[in-house]
């Protein structure tokens, strides 16, 4: 319960950045994309109802986020010295997680 008591007096800092077309992104990752697919009135239902709809696509590294320590490598080695080649498969990650 001590954790919950401390949460009551904690502060939240919003570090989020706005998403917009053309926002910065890492060069090898997809950008943020937005499109208005349908506007009100383009499709009308039997009761006269209408809706606007949009589509958003983005890479997982667009905007505010926190990466794992092993997200980047240097010289084929991950944080902690693990070899990328040994861990870059699903089986490799499972083996690493067991240790």
**pLDDT for residue 21:** 92
Residue 60: per-residue pLDDT: 80
Count up the domains in the chain and report the number: 2
Boundaries of domain holding 99: 67-99
Distances (CA, A) of 62 to 5, 19, 33, 35, 70: 35, 8, 10, 17, 18
Claim to verify: residue 1 and residue 40 sit in the same structural domain: yes
42 and 72 share a domain? no
pLDDT of residue 51: 93
53-74: pLDDT as tens digits: 999 998 888 888 788 887 788 9
- Give pLDDT, residue 49: 94
Is the same domain home to 59 and 78? no
Q: Are residues 57 and 72 in the same domain?
A: no
- In the predicted model, residues of the chain with pLDDT beneath 70 are 1, 89-99
Q: What confidence score (pLDDT) does residue 55 get?
A: 95
H or E segment and range at residue 90: helix 90-98
Which uninterrupted H or E stretch holds 54?
strand 53-57
16 and 54 share one domain: yes
What is the pLDDT at residue 46?
Answer: 93
Please give the structure tokens belonging to residue 18. Answer: 């706005």
Same-domain check for residues 61 and 77: no
């Amino acid at each position: 319960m001590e954790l919950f008591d401390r949460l009551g007096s904690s502060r939240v800092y919003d570090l989020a950045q706005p998403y917009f077309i053309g926002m910065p992104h890492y060069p090898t990752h997809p950008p943020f994309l937005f499109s208005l697919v349908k506007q009100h009135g383009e499709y009308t239902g039997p009761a006269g109802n209408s809706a606007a709809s949009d589509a958003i696509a983005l890479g997982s590294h667009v905007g505010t986020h926190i990466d794992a320590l092993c997200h980047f490598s240097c010289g084929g080695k991950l944080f902690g010295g693990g070899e990328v080649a040994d861990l870059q498969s699903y089986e490799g990650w499972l083996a690493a997680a067991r240790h």
